[in-house]
Structure 1
């Protein structure tokens, strides 16, 4: 494992099939805390994703952000140009990478994280102290990785913002056995309201929290003017931080 300094994070590399996966670690003020894996949206580890990682680290979490597009030779797609250009670049990159390869790398990172020296002990022998949160593409990847592991202790909690692959993943719902929180915009242009409702019904069980936001489109938490819905973003973030406090508390 190699390590290099950066102004607000360190980057470690984890051996995975085909090479070394770069993973950014954003550390809380005390240097240690519960682990929280943040899975990127289709635009990669963008400025927005980095800002969310910093905000979560400020709450006391060790935030691990894998650069899933490393196989494509980049950390993030373009954030400049028209919305059509930005969307096109992100969708092309996520399609080239593919869901399965992304899930492979996320599972490997999740299994590595409990042994990371910055992660505070869970307090229970054999238990982990690691949660996962994903946005858009990452929301689906986080769900699929949690299902792949099929455990009650790794991750200990899941947060998914408008997981774009979820409609195709509901057959895996029984293997997601940890508390989960889902955010959706009722005006989502990519995943229709009736599809969202079908997903909600198929995921329905104890431990699943589901919130929908009037007037909010897909990617409503992203600050880009084409996506952002200020009220939905604020309320969803409040609910996210409350959920994490309950299921992944910071001592």
Structure 2
């Protein structure tokens, strides 16, 4: 999971981000929006998987304004209070500012000399964040995994005009059937694809979490990479 730490310019100062260099250039760049726990090793593994697909990957540390002694917080332990602590971090984060940081990350990816285009990929908290960023940046593609904030962002659906793919678990503890129905009705008029995975809960892709669903994870990832290759060719 070799990556280099870079800085992205924002009006409030430099935002740290992890850059996973592609195997060859030019190629597409995927901006990965972290889940609620931060840029964890799970997120880094997903970034490395994208490198293996031929992409460059940029993973902004969206909690950077919450840093203490220069260390950006992330929840690495899988203890019983991990989710509560992570929700505390999100509660302290200004969502509008995080969206602006995401826009800055997409702009930085587009300026990268070897980038031939940009896609957004977000998990959980990052699924909603990526959706909001896509509304402002018009990337080549968007993939959102169980975007927990989508229920409050549906007014942006007409502005997300890029090809998009949404993954949900049918047994999601945070996004019930009615919420998923409302999201589907809002995003499909612009051509979005929605995949619902039987037996899967929220965060089914996180391979260290208690909700991990290996079959749904593998199926969703195969669909994700096929979708990305269709809309954002890699090297």
| TM-score band, normalised by shorter chain | over 0.9
Decide whether aligned partners of structure 1 residues 231 and 76 sit closer, same or farther in structure 2, where only a CA change above 3 A counts.
Answer: farther
The structural deviation recorded for 1:52 is 0.4
Distance 1:16 1:206, change over 3 A: closer
Matched residues in 1 for 2:118 and 2:209: separation? 32
Structure 2 unaligned residues grouped into runs of 5+: none
The reply on whether 1:139 has 2:148 as its aligned counterpart is no
Q: Distance in 2 between matches of 1:177 and 1:158?
A: 10
Distance 1:204 1:28 in 2: 32
Corresponding residue for 1:227?
Answer: 211
In structure 2, the residue matched to 1:75 is 72
CA-atom RMSD in angstroms? 1.4
Aligned-residue offset at 1:246: 0.5
Is it true that 1:215 corresponds to 2:199 in the alignment? Answer: yes
2:151–2:183 Cα contact (<8 Å) kept? yes
Tell me the CA shift for residue 222 of structure 1: 0.4
Give 1:197's aligned residue: 181
Give the counterpart of 1:93 among 89, 96, 115: 89
- Larger RCO, structures 1/2 (Cα 8 Å, 6+ apart): 2
- CA distance in 1 between counterparts of 2:150 and 2:122 reads 12
Q: Structure 2 length as normaliser, TM-score? A: 0.94
Q: Does 1:12 align with 2:6?
A: yes
Q: Match of 1:60, SS?
A: coil
Measured in 2, the distance between the counterparts of 1:24 and 1:81 equals: 23
Matched with 2:111 is: 115
After TM superposition, give the deviation of residue 20 of structure 1 in Å: 0.7
1:125 aligns to what?
none
TM-score, normalised via structure 1 length: 0.88
| Structure 1 unmatched runs, 5+ | 1-6, 122-128
Length, aligned pairs only: 232
